[in-house]
Amino acid sequence: MAYKITDECIGCGACEAECPVSCISAGDIYAIDADSCIDCGNCANVCPVGAPQAE
C-alpha cells in the first residue's frame, strides 16, 4: 500500500530527501509515485505536518 501526500503539505521537502527510492517529486505540493513507493514510511516520519498518509 503506497503513501499519498495530502493537501496539508507545506512544500518543505523533508519527505523528498528521506525517500530511499526517490519516488517523491516537487510541485505545488509534493507527490508520491504510487507505483514506485515501497511503503517504508520514511516520508511520514519526517513530515512536520503529517501530510504523507498510507492509502
The answer for residues whose C-beta is within 8 angstroms of residue 27's C-beta and 6 or more apart is none
18: domain CATH number?
3.30.70.20
pLDDT tens digit sequence for 10-33: 999 999 999 999 999 999 899 999
pLDDT of residue 23: 98
Rounded Cα distance between 33 and 47, Å, is: 17
- Residue 7, domain extent: 3-54
DSSP state of 17: H
Are the C-beta atoms of residues 30 and 11 closer than 8 Å to each other?
A: yes
Q: Is the pTM of this model over 0.75?
A: yes
Confidence check: pLDDT of 1 > 90 = no
How many domains are contained in the chain? 1
pLDDT tens digit sequence for 33-51: 999 999 999 999 999 999 9
Rounded Cα distance between 28 and 41, Å, is: 22
